[in-house]
Structure 1
Amino acid sequence: MDPTTSDESSCCSPGETERKSHHSDKVKNSLISRLNRIEGQVRGIKGMIEKDVYCDDVLNQIASVQSALNGVGKLLLEHHMRSCVIERIQEGDTDVLNELLTTMNKLMK
């Protein structure tokens, strides 16, 4: 890749001031769809609390949302590793490994 040209599909070029992802439309739509469902679940939990629904039922819904968010995180992490991380390593930027390890530690909390 020529670093003097701006390639919109590049997520991690070292010369870029702002890194961007480069997901396919299919992956992006999948992520957005999952997040829309999660958003609806969170609104549902809020409604459950407003209606004084039994705590255990609310907690089960919270666990469901956490699981769904973990699924989004796993999908995003997989695509990040298969694209951005590999791309940056191929460009000689091994700092991406420390960045990745920090991110993975945050995801695993």
Structure 2
Amino acid sequence: MHTIKEKTRLIARVRRIKGQAEALERALEQELGCADVLMLVASMRGAVNGLTAEVMEDHIRHHIVDPDKENSSQAQGAAELIEVLRTYIK
């Protein structure tokens, strides 16, 4: 499974998200202002979206077709889908 190959990197990303969630929790406990809380939420959302995009891209490359290894209309479609995901999910 491709997530196992990328296990260390994915876990590192999850741990960063966990740290961001803990920072958000502290901010709420300390009753920080809305702008500060919203910035923390936005950074968490960006981190989760980045993780989602990475797992989806790996899924496409490993279970559908890897556009770096094939030259077909399916590979071109996969490359386009990956690019759209990167743009849309950010």
Unaligned ranges ≥5, structure 1: 1-20, 87-103
Deviation at 1:24, TM superposition (A): 5.2
Task: Summarize deviations over 1:24-64 as a string: whole Å, max 9, x none.
Answer: 53x22111101100011001101100000111101001000
Deviation at 1:85, TM superposition (A): 2.5
For 2:46 and 2:9, locate their aligned partners in 1 and report how far apart those are by CA, in whole Å: 16
List, as ranges, runs of 4+ consecutive aligned residues in structure 1 with deviation greater than 6 Å: none
TM-score (norm 1): 0.56
Greater fraction of residues in helix: 2
CA RMSD of the aligned region, Å?
2.1
1:17 maps to which residue? Answer: none
1:22 maps to which residue? Answer: 2
2:13 maps to which residue? Answer: 34
Larger radius of gyration: 1
Report the AA paired with residue 56 of structure 2: L
**Count, aligned residues:** 69
1:54 maps to which residue? Answer: 33
- Structural mapping, 1:64-103, within 5 Å: 64-86=43-65
Unaligned ranges ≥5, structure 2: 66-84
Report the AA paired with residue 21 of structure 2: V
Work out the percentage of aligned pairs sharing the same amino acid: 32
SS in 2 for 1:36: helix
